[in-house]
Amino acid sequence: MQLIEFDGKALLESHGIPLLPRKLLAPDEQAEFPGDAMVKAQVLSGGRGKSGLIMKSEAHSLPQTVNAVRARLRERGEAGWVMLEQPAQITSELYIAITIDDVACAPCLLFSCAGGIEVESHPERVKRLLIDPLKGLVAWEVVQFLREAALEKEQIGPVSRFALELWRTWCAEDAELIEINPLAVTADKGLVALDAKVILDDHAEARHPHRYRLVSSQLTDRKRGESDTFVEMPGDVGLLTGGAGLGMTVVDMLADAGLRAATFVDGAGGREAAYEEKARRVLECADRPNIKGVLIYFTLAATSLAPIVRGTIKALQEHPVSKPVVVGIVAAAAAEVEMSAAEARQIFVDAGFIFRAELDEAIAELSRLIKAVDSPA
């Protein structure tokens, strides 16, 4: 889950990261702030500055500036969440981030002496330090890394301490990315995070249930819903699978069995509510006369099994259909952290649904049930 700037900064502040005073305004909340303010639209996309979604305002013109930013958000179809933040007096801008290097399969620290928009203009200046996940980020390695990155001598100590705090936060919050751009150097040589991009691992939901009450959670669900592909086709089977690759395979196997898929859902994943919504849309289609049955099938390598099961079973129970329904799930060990495949099977069986783990068996069973309905004895 990606966090809006306000939520990301609240998370960082809870771990002692230095930040400026700020306030979050709901879409219909009046603009009030003690003094001048930076008015920042709270959206999940980047490029806010170039889109006119970040403006500096004097105290007397704050309401007008907030309304101007909200007007731009409405033009984009975005919710009108806005953050007000105290302007900073800075002498230079740095860039620092911790993310995952997909090639090395390890966390890495990113740093550049040229922060702000300079990072986009000169990506070659960004240096990286791979982090041994068994040792973690080590102080002397950070110091040496910053020296090699040509950071000014008097800043090496403060930035090293900042990097170590950022690493502890990254680990404690099960983050995928924490990016501070810019990390500002103030007139008194202090450091303050002027912007924060934070992406958290959805699979760690069980350890951090509070984060899903954040504003970011609402915006993330909305964004995921818009990004899901839901296609209706002239078929006779309501189909719910995870991912386009598996979905196309199942469509072909249904055709081999003399059945045609009536729905195609390509959703990248999400939390329980996201899966519930996907299942609900398929089940609504299943109410139509031309739909003869429903197939729900997932293969999971690392995606947590629990939210899929909870969301799907909730939709099935709240939106019962009179057509045959067959469910199947195959899960690797990494997907069984919160719930085992055997537990998942039992949940569906106890609720009265037919469960077949193997895909060919699930399709064969659905075909048999449909034929039994079409040709009653």
In this predicted structure, what is the pLDDT of residue 278? 85
In this predicted structure, what is the pLDDT of residue 50? 76
Are the C-beta atoms of residues 60 and 46 closer than 8 Å to each other?
Answer: no
Quote the CA–CA distance of 370 and 359 in Å, as a whole number.
17
Are the C-beta atoms of residues 15 and 170 closer than 8 Å to each other?
Answer: no
In this predicted structure, what is the pLDDT of residue 123? 78
Quote the CA–CA distance of 72 and 66 in Å, as a whole number.
10
In this predicted structure, what is the pLDDT of residue 290? 84
What does the pLDDT look like over 199-237, one tens digit per residue?
998 778 778 877 767 777 766 655 555 445 677 788 899
In this predicted structure, what is the pLDDT of residue 68? 95
Contacts of 153 (CB under 8 A, 6+ apart): none
Q: Angle formed by the axes of helices 359-374 and 244-256, to 10°?
A: 50
In this predicted structure, what is the pLDDT of residue 266? 63
In this predicted structure, what is the pLDDT of residue 70? 94
Q: How far apart, in Å, are the Cα atoms of 246 and each of 113, 274, 278, 296?
A: 45, 18, 16, 12
In this predicted structure, what is the pLDDT of residue 260? 93
Strand partners, 215: none
In this predicted structure, what is the pLDDT of residue 247? 85
Closest CA to 280 of 299, 268, 259, 294: 294
Name the stretches of the chain with pLDDT < 50. 226-227
